[in-house]
Structure formats: C-alpha cells, structure tokens
Structure 1
C-alpha cells in the first residue's frame, strides 16, 4: 500500500477549544476531545482529518514573516462561496482578520483563535 495522508495536526494550548472553532467553521464533527488531543473528520469520510495536540508553549507564527520571526510552516486553505459572509462568520467564531492581505480580491488571510494562519478563498483562486 502506498503512503496515505490521514490527518493534519495543529499544535495549540487548548485542543478542545480549537477543535470547537474548526467544527463550527467547517461543519465537521468532533470525533475525540481530550485536554491533550482533539480530532475532527469530514462527515462523509474518516480520513484525512484535522487534529489538535497540546503544545503548552505554542507560539503563533508572524505574518507576514520577517527574518528571525517564528515561521508559519503551514497554513490551511478553506474554500468558501461568499468571502465577506464567511469572513464575518469566522470572526464571530473567534478568528481575526490580518492587516496584511497579499491579494486584494478573492482571498482573505485570517487567524484562528490560537493564532494559526488560514486563508478563506473563493473558487478560482
């Protein structure tokens, strides 16, 4: 069997809280939630999932990254049908909109409640 990606894992100081944010943002059910680990999965497929592990000393990345800053390493891209509506919904769930937006239309860079960068984008971007 070839290698199979089964999950993306984000470090966080509070896995259940961050799992609840992504549950509400994506509409995916939480399949496990403990103080040190939480996991979501797409409602129609078990894998890949999105998991959260406890990192008590988690440091959010700098955006945009400058020399010597904590680097982003990775980010999530989330496709949406209405960028303004979904940005407002994400903010109502605890996200923040970044000041630096590298693309003027079709993409919005935001941070989840624990500082991870994610991009909301319209189809075609």
Structure 2
C-alpha cells in the first residue's frame, strides 16, 4: 500500500517559498539546496513525509473563498498548533511573510496565505 512521501507546491520561487516553510515549520532542507527548481524539506525527526517546492513560473494563487470562474484551490496545508499558541503562531507566520485571509470559516482555524498565495490553515485540535 502506498504511503505519502511528499506534498509538492508549485511556485515561481522554490528557494524563497522553501525558506518560508523551513522557518514556519522548523524543518530542514534535505534535497535541492543547490537546485533553484526543486527543493524538499522534512521534519528533523523523520524523513517522510516531506514538503517539496517545484518551479512553476506561471503559478496563479487561488481565490478564497472559492468563486465561480476564478482559480480554485486544489489543496491546502493544515498545520496543527497548541490551543494557547494559535494567536502567537498567526503573528509568527505573518512576520515570516504570510497574510491572514478576511474570510475565516470556523473558530480555532485561521486561514492564511504563504508568500506565493498558497492557502494554509493554522488550527487547534478539535477545530
């Protein structure tokens, strides 16, 4: 049975977006440090799954919330945070270059965008 090896984000700037997630997650670069077209990060504690960044010069960020006739989100990352740390992690993500979306779907979940416009959620257990 297959297992998840890596989640890949298309981006016009793989090194830049990898640097954002490396700082946000506290992960390390394990592949592509000298390759500006593809990089992979992983947790310091385990090899897989990883988060990869592939050159996609024509990347178009999705709309949020979704609207007919506009670029739709294909996937997003859900990043679990401790309940008492949600506000601090939102502030930290913003200091790294993320933006907070105006539309928020639920308590305990904060929808954000990385510097290239990919959506991700910071959320607390049970949200």
User: Cα deviations across residues 83-125 of structure 1 (Å, max 9, x unaligned)?
Assistant: 110000000000000011111x201000000000000001221
Once the two structures are superposed, the pairs formed by residues 1-125 of structure 1 within 5 Å of their partners are 2-32=1-31, 33=33, 34-81=35-82, 82-103=85-106, 105-125=107-127
Q: Distance in 2 between matches of 1:24 and 1:9?
A: 17
Structure 1 counterpart SS, 2:94 = helix
| CA deviation string 1:61-83 (max 9, x = no partner) | 01011111101010000011211
Using the size of structure 2 for normalisation, the TM-score is: 0.94
- SS of 2:111's equivalent in the other structure is strand
In the TM superposition, what is the alpha-carbon distance from 1:31 to its structure 2 partner? 1.3
Q: C-alpha distance in 1, partners of 2:3/2:65?
A: 31
CA–CA separation in structure 2 for the residues paired with 1:15 and 1:31: 14
Tell me how far 1:30 sits from its aligned partner: 1.1
Higher strand share: 1
Please list every run of at least 4 consecutive aligned residues from structure 1 whose deviation after the TM superposition is greater than 4 angstroms: none
Report SS of the residue matched to 1:47.
Answer: coil
Deviations 1:29-87 (A, max 9, x none): 11123210111011111111000000000000010111111010100000112111000
